[in-house]
Structure 1
Amino acid sequence: MNENTQTLLRTIVHAMQDKKADRIVSLDLTALDGAVCDAFVICQAESTTQVAAITAGVEELTLREIGEKPYRIQGLDNALWVAMDYGNVMVHIFQSEMRDFYRLEELWADGELTRHEDQY
Structure 2
Amino acid sequence: MKKTTLKTADTKKSSITRLTRNSKIVKAIINAIQEKKGENIISLDLRKIPEAVADFFIICEATNSTQLRAIADFIETDVKEKIQEIPFKHEGKVAQQWILIDYVNVVVHVMMPDIRKFYQLEEMWSDAPMMEHKG
Structure (1 or 2) with the larger CA radius of gyration: 2
Quote the Cα distance in structure 1 between the aligned partners of 2:70 and 2:89.
17
Tell me the equivalent position of 2:88. 71
TM-score when scaled to structure 2? 0.83
For 2:104, give the aligned amino acid.
Answer: G
Q: Which structure is richer in relative contact order (CA contacts within 8 A, separation 6 or more)?
A: 1
* 2:120 counterpart residue number: 103
Given the two structures, how large is their TM-score scaled by the length of structure 1? 0.94
Q: 1:3 to 1:61 in 2, by over 3 A?
A: same
Deviation at residue 6 of structure 1 after TM alignment: 1.8
Higher strand share: 1
Q: Which consecutive segments of 4 or more residues in structure 1 shift more than 3 A?
A: none
Please show how residues 49-64 of structure 1 align to structure 2 within 5 Å: 49-64=66-81
Aligned residues: 118
Residue 2 of structure 1 aligns to a residue whose secondary structure is coil
Distance 1:11 1:116 in 2: 13
Measured in 2, the distance between the counterparts of 1:2 and 1:45 equals 26
Deviation readout 1:19-78 (Å, 9 max, x if unpaired): 000000000000111110100000001111110000011001100000001111100001
Q: Distance in 1 between matches of 2:21 and 2:42?
A: 19
1:82 aligns with 2:82: no
Runs (5+) with no aligned partner, structure 2:
1-17
Q: Are positions 1:13 and 2:30 aligned together? A: yes
**CA-CA distance at 1:4 after TM superposition:** 9.5
Root-mean-square deviation over aligned CA pairs: 1.5
Gap regions ≥5 residues in structure 1: none
